[in-house]
Amino acid sequence: MKPALPPKVLMLIVPWSPQSDAENLLQKVAMALAGGVNWLMLRIHDLPASVCIDIASELRRMARQTATLFSVNPYPVLAEWVEADGVHLPEHALEHPLAPSPNRLLGYSVHSEESAPRAVAAGADYLLVGTMYPTSSHPNKSPEGIPLMRAIARAVSVPLIAVGGITPERVSPCLQAGAIGVAVISGILGSPNPSLSAQAYWSRLVE
């Protein structure tokens, strides 16, 4: 049976690359979990799945301790190895959709109104919709913005999570446009106090 999505989502996307400092990153993740993050997503850059088992396993352990969802982006095999709650795939993966698992959440990133129904037809349990605002993680990408969220909310019925340049002040417009939550990277991991930053996001989600 698939895990249930929380009514309000504060997802922390945890980037992992050859340059990552595991100790520092995990300390920040622990603080973020204490501040209200209820979904961790490990996003892997330029590494094969086989060398990411340790970090994925540790994040999975931290998630279990805090009753938090844990997903892997983009490797289904790694998600299976560490018994993750979900696997997340980029929009271009819709060209060869992954067969949904009965026990694992399946999510896709979508950047257009046309892609959203395709992702739902492929078995998506939720969608990450963006880019909402300018973001340092995709500096050369023009944001699709709130109009995209509204259009996708009208087109599909699965839960939507806003991503891209989300600050606490931008949470409310995303929710009003149809999202159940937000996904954040630098707004929490780049903060001197990830716990306080997570609390700031969470307070906007539940106000």
> What pLDDT digit, counting tens, does each position of 151-195 carry?
999 999 999 999 999 999 999 999 999 999 999 999 999 999 999
Q: How much is the pTM? A: 0.96
- Look at residue 142 in the predicted model and tell me its pLDDT: 72
Q: State pLDDT tens for residues 19-78.
A: 999 999 999 999 999 999 999 999 999 999 999 999 999 999 999 999 999 999 999 999
pLDDT at site 140: 66
- CA distances 71 to 12, 41, 165, Å, are 10, 5, 21
Q: CA triplet 37, 42, 43: central angle to 5 degrees?
A: 125
The end-to-end CA distance of the chain, in Å, is 31
Find, among 80, 138, 139, 149, the residue nearest to 116 by Cα.
149
> What pLDDT is attached to residue 20?
95
- pLDDT per residue over 69-115, tens digit each? 999 999 999 999 999 999 999 999 999 999 999 999 999 999 999 99
Mean of pLDDT over the chain: 96
